[in-house]
A and B are shown apart, each in its own frame.
Chain A
Amino acid sequence: MKLTNLLTSAAVALGLAASAAMADTTKVGFVYVGPVGDGGWTYEHDQGRKAVEAEFGDKVETVYVENVAEGPDAERVMTQMALEGADLIFTTSFGYMDPTINVAKKFPNVKFEHATGYKRADNVSTYSARFYEGRAVQGTIAGHMTESNIVGYIGSYPIPEVVRGINSAYIHAKKVNPDVQFKIVWAFTWFDPAKEADAAKVLIEQGADVILQHTDSTAPQAAAQAAGNVITFGQASDMAEYGPKPRVSSIIDDWAPYYIARTRAVMDGTWESKDTWDGIGAGMVGIGEISDAVPADVKEAALAIKASLADGSYHAFTGPLKKQDGSDWLADGETADDGTLAGMNFYVEGLEGDIPQ
């Protein structure tokens, strides 16, 4: 009898201690679409997670699950995280949009942050970076440097985010090189090194000497290197190990400041649902160092574009621009509004092929 009592009270005490300890720390969960070692997209999100840990130390506990398939499995992972007491959950892929909304409905006290999506709720914020600004810089370099006038583009999924990147790169390549032509291959994956390598090889075989990628692994870089006279750009992460050639520059996602700010907001109780879309100016999109393989005048032109995008004096989508079918989109000097950009599902004039629907 005594022993049972003792055990019961011990258990209760333990439970209390545990919940007290829980109250002190803020638990932040991260759901990743690829492995943290992909060297690209997920790697940078994980750097952000580590920055949150470094910033808050003992006051925060972070958990992450990698390689989570987009779809029902994501819902299961998020639910599990919420049940385990996460206060804030970052879901870091476009395909987690509906799962995030569904799970958020079930856990009104847990805050959710969905990357690159457009559906929000009282406890769901969205955030993304204006990668298309980085694409404008890449397009400028690509247009100057291509000799075959063929630029290969490895798309992942035909979603607005990727289409925006293609359009932005094309507009700026065309601006400096009217003869430039884009060949686009859709890989239908965010991360599959073998498929990405195949796609890059095919594009190179068909004459491309610049490869842009919107997939997460470094496989296209390796393929370009093997092929020789081809240049590439790091995607999501610097991919500096492939510099100075083929990788001549890169788009770097820097999520750390945002993750720290949002975690702090949850701690302070000031968190509210909002939409964040920052670009080069705010530092969310970084341009990796432009290597010596790029001629000085091209580098200068690229840096000038970067500077004008950063201070807001130039918008990557500035008219006159027409849609692929020849209809008018933006008048001279007009800039695209965020609503159109967020849902962009058309190519601009000059691009060939259809967007898979």
Chain B
Amino acid sequence: MDLSAINPVLLIASLMVAATPLLLAAIGELVVEKSGVLNLGVEGMMITGAIAGFATAVESGSPLLGFIAAAFAGAALSILFAILTQFAQANQVASGLSLTLFGLGLSALMGQSYVGIKPPQMGDIHIPVLSDLPVVGPIIFGHDIILYFGIALTAAVWWVLKYSRIGLVLRAVGENHDAAHALGYKVIRIRIAAIMFGGACAGLGGAYISLIRVPQWTEGMTAGIGWIALALVVFASWKPWRALLGAYLFGGVTVVQLNLQAAGVAIPVEYLAMSPYLITIIVLVILSADKSSAPASLGRNFHASR
């Protein structure tokens, strides 16, 4: 056992990378659920974003273009969910699940010719002086732009939900869609916008995996991160900063447990392997003791005539 082999600076830097896909997907889903819609299709939208972003990046040579395409692909797939649940009044749980299955199949089909190809690299930003600082440099100033975007998005979503008029309307729709409708807000329209935002975020998260974290395309490569994002939103009590904390915690323990294994710590590997799930859930359960409850209309369909 040799703990000195673990470099804490590199550890923190890599846990931020490991957490970003989860964070992006969770923030998107948080907004969707705040509007009163439960979209279980996160995994499907992520994997679709992963292949759409990968394919676009490979064809165009630009990772940034890939991320934009991934956001559009995720949003496009979420429109399918929006049509089913908002217009056809289909059950949200069933529609979300089928969206995941559909996304997994669709991505496998789209990805047939992209197996084993290397995507163009997305460089880390490099700020002179700042990025070269010891400790702080690699942790704060040495990442790719999407990682910063994820944190900025968390801040933006928090601010919008808490302080802006749009956020207030969105929350009203999520808490009581009948009252919001009576006040003259377009419930369906607002929800569709939220669903598309969630889809775009999930797509970005997926593309982060296929373009930066791994980076390559393989079928089923999101490997359940979409589901963890869903759980994270609940455990984070629908609060953006807690989602960020949860994502970093999860990413962190994932990376730490591999580090501990490599350093030869004498803890059975099975415990280490389950620790990310366990620790994240325990911490968030403790945090959510203040009884913030779910949006009251979560998962309920709205129809103006009822």
Contacts and interface: CB of A to CB of B under 8 A. Distances in A.
A195 B223 contact: yes
B214 interface: yes
B268 interface: yes
B235 to A, nearest CB: 21
B261 A192 contact: no
B130 interface: no
B296 to A, nearest CB: 36
B255 interface: yes
Contact of A198 (B10, B18, B219): B18
B258 interface: yes
A30 to B, nearest CB: 16
Overall SS of chain A's interface: mixed
A24 B136 CA distance: 71
B223 A194 contact: yes
Interface string A288-318: 0000000000000000000000000000000
A37 B259 contact: no
A199 B258 contact: yes
Interface residues of B, number: 40
Contacts of A217: 216, 218
Contact of B10 (A67, A185, A205): A205
Contact of A38 (B219, B222, B258, B263): B219
Contact of B116 (A183, A191, A207, A218): A218
B216 A219 contact: yes
Interface stretch (A101-109, A118-126, A320-328, A348-356): A348-356
Contacts of B264: 183, 352-353
A197 B10 contact: no
Which residue, B118, B215, B216, B218, has most C-beta atoms of chain A within 10 A? B218
A38 B219 CA distance: 7
Contact of A185 (B116, B258, B268): B258
A37 B219 contact: yes
A194 B259 contact: no
Interface string B243-278: 000000000001100110111101011100100000
Interface residues of A, number: 40
B221 interface: yes
Interface string A175-213: 000000001111010011111011101110111000000
A201 B10 CA distance: 10
Interface string B209-253: 100011110111111010000000000000000000000000000
Nearest to A354: B266
A35 B219 contact: yes
B214 A194 contact: yes
Interface in A212-251: 217-219, 222-223, 225-226, 239, 241-242
Contacts of B254: 198
Nearest to B263: A206
B111 interface: yes
A138 to B, nearest CB: 19
A193 B223 contact: yes
B7 interface: yes
A213 to B, nearest CB: 14
Contacts of B106: none
B83 interface: no
A62 to B, nearest CB: 19
B262 A185 contact: yes
B218 A206 contact: no
A222 B108 contact: no
Given A183-B264, A185-B258, A356 B219 contact: no
A37 B111 contact: yes
A271 to B, nearest CB: 33
Contacts of B18: 198
Given A203-B262, A206-B7, 17 more contacts: A37-B112, A37-B115, A37-B219, A38-B115, A184-B262, A194-B225, A202-B261, A207-B5, A217-B216, A217-B218, A218-B116, A219-B216, A219-B218, A223-B214, A241-B117, A352-B264, A353-B264
9 contacts: A37-B108, A37-B111, A37-B218, A186-B261, A188-B273, A193-B209, A198-B18, A222-B118, A353-B264
